[in-house]
Amino acid sequence: MAQRHITDLGIAPDGKVFQSITIGGGGLTARVLTFGAALQDLRLGGHDVPVVLGHAEPEAYFDNPGYLGAIVGRYANRIADGRFTLDGRGHQVDRNENGVQCLHGGSLGTSAQSWQLLESADDHVTLGLMLEDGHMGFPGALDLRCRYSTRGSTLTILLTGRSDATTYCNLASHAYYNLTGAADIKEHRLCITAERYLPVDARQIPLGAPADVAGTPFDFRPPAGLTAPLDHTFCRAEARTALGPAATLEAAGLHMTLETTEPGLHVYDGAALGRTNRPGLQGAPYGPHAGIALEPQAWPDAPNQSWASQALLRPGETWRSETRLSFERVS
């Protein structure tokens, strides 16, 4: 077991301490940053390259347009026009995507916040963040926790939230995966267990009810290569479930299984990566399709849709999301 390692990296733009925490060893080793609660690096013992994308320079996370490795929220994905009505009261939240809709909780969402290191050991770290009532326009003071833990070749991400007023809570890990270290993910094969997906308009807002994946480019139930453009939510269930399989990713003899409790899995093929020239974990900057983001979450725009209950959080309740990543070598 590797020794837990905490490094002070300086001061974040908000004036708070900036740290990295390394956990694991023997199987998986993860490096987590307090800014954005980001998973900066994830490596499997005996595997030559990292299995996630990350900025080599920790300071790059202060301006992270691709959300590499960050925990996004308080509402992951999009809210149409940045507006919703909750318990009869209208709310206008930050419209940080093209001035039109709210993306990933707004311009100062959880990915752009300094989380506090609450507790750590060799195999886990817990970070905390308090968002004030009215932050980015959302109601309710929201008390959040993010726990990364390793066991052998498995990484578990546990997210929880409690609010003092009725609100929406929908956090997600925005890690990008690349199992080979190649410049793109074209040699990867993806399997998604969902039988339905959400068709969207040009703004990436759902057009209505989920549609069957059968007969469409979005049917990944038998594993398939990554050829069609992907920036879509796949619908596992109508509500949060027990931990269960959502997707697998395989390339070059390495197999990754993603299990989650979340009703949706948003899959983004990284087409817009490469907008910055910052070095990645292997030195070179990332280009388009350098990694695939698999983001367990509620379905998008829930506050304005019939599936609003997926992300609704009332006082006295605990919102809880768990995702488990497991790696194994295959012949």
CA separation for the pair 141, 169 (Å, rounded): 11
> What radius of gyration, in Å, describes the C-alpha atoms of the chain?
18
CA separation for the pair 73, 70 (Å, rounded): 10
CA separation for the pair 289, 66 (Å, rounded): 12
User: Which residue is catalytic, options 250, 259, 295, 322?
Assistant: 295
**Interacting residues of 46 by C-beta distance below 8 A, sequence separation 6+:** none
**Interacting residues of 14 by C-beta distance below 8 A, sequence separation 6+:** 113, 114
CA separation for the pair 55, 279 (Å, rounded): 6
- The yes-or-no answer on residue 174 being catalytic is yes
Q: Which two tokens stand for residue 64?
A: 């992270």
CA separation for the pair 122, 21 (Å, rounded): 10
What length does the chain have? Answer: 331
User: Which residue is catalytic, options 124, 174, 188, 266?
Assistant: 174
Cα–Cα nearest to 179, from 53, 312, 23:
53
Pair 268, 293: CB distance under 8 Å: yes
Q: Write out the catalytic residue numbers.
A: 174, 295
